[in-house]
Structure 1
Amino acid sequence: MASSPETEHPVKALGWAARDSSGHLSPFNFSRRKTGDEDVRFKVLYCGICDSDLHNLKNNWRRTLYPMVPGHEIVGEAIEVGSKVQKVKIGDKVGVGCMVGACHSCDNCLNDLENYCPKIVHPFNKIDLDGTRTYGGCSDHMVANERYIIRFPDNMPLDSAAPLLCAGITAYSPLKYYGLGSPDKHIGIVGLGGIGHMAVKFAKAMGAKVTVISYSSAQKNEALEHLGADSFLITNDQKQMEAAKGTLDGLLDTIPVVHPIMPLLDLLKPHKQLVLLTVQEYKPLEFTAFPLMLGRKGIVGGAIGGMKETQEMVDFAAKHNIKPDVEIISTNYANTAMERIAKSDVKYRFVIDIGNTLEATKPLTY
């Protein structure tokens, strides 16, 4: 008889999981694989949660495998390392982000772009390369191949470091790829949520001029006074929008719901790009081709970064003291947090204090 994933991977784990599309989370006992020669196991101390977790919990993207343990911004302390591990030792501050596996042989993988590998393995809702299920970081420990482990400098607090592994790298990568992070660039950040506020912080640290673009004035003071943006633009103010036409070297669009694209294209200089960084509910975008054709403008996308770039981003954040703004919560608050995420009621990222609060939710029996 073939052995099951549970017998092949007998290390007991405690997490919080949803069992169906209600998305309701509750304590869940499961197993992770033994620590292989190239693996790092770490005690999870903090785990960020975001829109992607909510969509997956509720099966909005039609790919959820239940029971599902969410969490792809996972940080903690290394407690076991395999015999061939070279970059991590026990006690190191480490983390895992949006991927735990890839093919390692395609052009993307060979060019440090594992995030675009067609066989990418996410930390939840995926079948790993060994045929077993992946479970996310809302759990007491995590194990991954050292290739997918990020190391955190000692001066970086782990509670606010967790969102760097999704929101942080999603903002950082297009700034680097499109050459937008330099003093001669004026860029627009559309939306000021988890990704948006990180994009402002990274762009300013790189020296760029930043305009935050929103559909209301509610976050104007926050953008200018707290985050240090240079200007704030309201899309329904026609006078402001007219004055800003053709002034931007690039746009990072971080709004996760459907919204008008055409007014944003007018803000770009010729030959520049609007970069979409969030999933807009799987609904078609609405735009006409003329602004693209007449200005040779582009609508492009982006998603996280490869492992080399992710480590680069973490090191850059530590050097420039860049930290996400977070609200630390207990594990028991996770369901309420998901309800608040659905209402965009968070500033700017929820981070679960797994290390201090998960154990209290432990079921009576395993």
Structure 2
Amino acid sequence: MNAQTVTSVPAYAVPAAGAPLERATIPRRPVGEHDVLIEIKYTGICHTDIHRAGDETGGIFPMVPGHEIAGVVTAVGSGVTRHRTGDRVGVGCMVDSCRECDNCRAGLEQFCANGAVETYNSTGRDSGPTYGGYSTHIVVDENYVLRIPEGISLDEAAPLLCAGVTLYSPLTHWNAGPGKNVAIVGLGGLGHMGVKIAHAMGAEVTVLSRSLRKKDDGERLGADHFYATSDPATFEQLAGGFDLIVNTVSANLDLDAYLSLLKTNGTLVNVGAPPAPSRVTMFSLMGGRKTLAGSLIGGIAETQEMLDFCAAHGLGSDIEVISGEQINEAYERVLAADVRYRFVIDASTIPAG
């Protein structure tokens, strides 16, 4: 593959809103002075991919989803200093930002005041659409490429680039650790990483799930306790017990009920995004000086910190590896909650379109 010319690479693309994914060929820009060419090995399937493929959040079509990318560097630009050919690397939810605003300068590129360039379904610096990781290769500026430590396999590392940092960031920001009681709401692609990470941080971890169906899994992943939220007694028994609750589900919950589970000065952080506005009673916040907050992935430095943390503690995502031709089936299974806990596409199975 000639790094100095625009290349065409195989991919799976959504041709139009709501349409099934199909084989395609997409362009990749030439490797510039500070660019890295990555041969993609694995790409995770995020619930966001499904929302965007259905045009639920606004889409640019044809769309190549995928922002949980793990692979190997195969070429670098003349000015690249962060990565070398052969390095194990990852790409998460963004591939560029303005680099000049206060947030970018503070390492909070995900909150770029001028809008971060997302890995797919965005407009790149070349004014063309960005295409994601359901493909065999990608070209990314070196500053937005992460190093994947040897302690994590590439397939289990891929989902960490979104799901991992989405949980690591709030758990770190709100000081999960020894002496803290932390609840994770939902045990899915996000929630299972929240349990693993909070446990590794030394917190006492409780899973709040609709039923007890996944109780054994939760305990295997590191949960100290597991409760069913469909049982009203749960909210009576656990009232005022948590320093931090991280809500991973994308459904409208009774926020007042969950706020009642917080200690004084406790925080309920939302990383799941329900489709409809949520309601909360102000007295649920005022009584106990509680905080209702949100969190969105993490900056580049924090994402690297998360990868290093996971490697040091032997953490990876629980995955099911699939071939490219199984992506549409995987979408259906995600919507049916039939995955434990993340689908990962083997990029070697993506044929030419």
Both proteins in one fold, TM over 0.5: yes
Q: 1:335 is matched with which residue?
A: 328
1:51-62 equivalence runs, <5 A: 51-61=47-57
1:56-135 equivalence runs, <5 A: 56-61=52-57, 63-118=58-113, 119-135=115-131
Distance 2:5 2:54 in 1: 27
Distance 2:69 2:91 in 1: 5
Deviations 1:298-329 (A, max 9, x none): 11100110000000100110111001100000
Distance 2:247 2:299 in 1: 20
Q: 1:202 is matched with which residue?
A: 197
Secondary structure of the corresponding residue to residue 194 of structure 1: coil
Q: 1:326 is matched with which residue?
A: 319
Distance 1:204 1:121 in 2: 33
Q: 1:349 is matched with which residue?
A: 342
1:108-257 equivalence runs, <5 A: 108-118=103-113, 119-180=115-176, 182-224=177-219, 226-257=220-251
TM-score with structure 2 setting the length: 0.97
Secondary structure of the corresponding residue to residue 118 of structure 2: coil
Q: 1:33 is matched with which residue?
A: 29
Q: 1:4 is matched with which residue?
A: none
Aligned residues: 349
* 1:284 corresponds to 2:281: no
Shift of 1:238: 2.7
* Contact preservation (8 Å) 2:252, 2:274: yes
Deviations 1:90-130 (A, max 9, x none): 01101100000100000100001101113200011111123
Letter in 2 for 1:327: E
Letter in 2 for 1:272: G
Structure 1: 5+ residue runs without aligned partners?
1-7
Q: 2:299 is matched with which residue?
A: 306
Deviations 1:33-57 (A, max 9, x none): 1001100001011000111000000
Pick the aligned partner of 1:297 from 290, 300, 303: 290
Distance 2:17 2:213 in 1: 33
Letter in 1 for 2:36: V
Distance 1:21 1:66 in 2: 7
Shift of 1:295: 1.6
Structure 2: 5+ residue runs without aligned partners?
none
Distance 1:265 1:238 in 2: 15
* 1:358 corresponds to 2:350: yes
* Contact preservation (8 Å) 1:23, 1:54: no
Secondary structure of the corresponding residue to residue 69 of structure 2: strand
Distance 2:342 2:149 in 1: 21
Distance 1:98 1:202 in 2: 20
* Contact preservation (8 Å) 1:183, 1:206: yes
Letter in 2 for 1:358: I
The two structures, once aligned, show a CA RMSD in angstroms of: 1.2
Distance 2:228 2:315 in 1: 26
Shift of 1:9: 6.8
Deviations 1:211-257 (A, max 9, x none): 10012111112112x11211112223233321211110010000112
Percent of counterpart pairs with the same letter? 43
TM-score with structure 1 setting the length: 0.93
Q: 1:272 is matched with which residue?
A: 266
Secondary structure of the corresponding residue to residue 75 of structure 1: strand
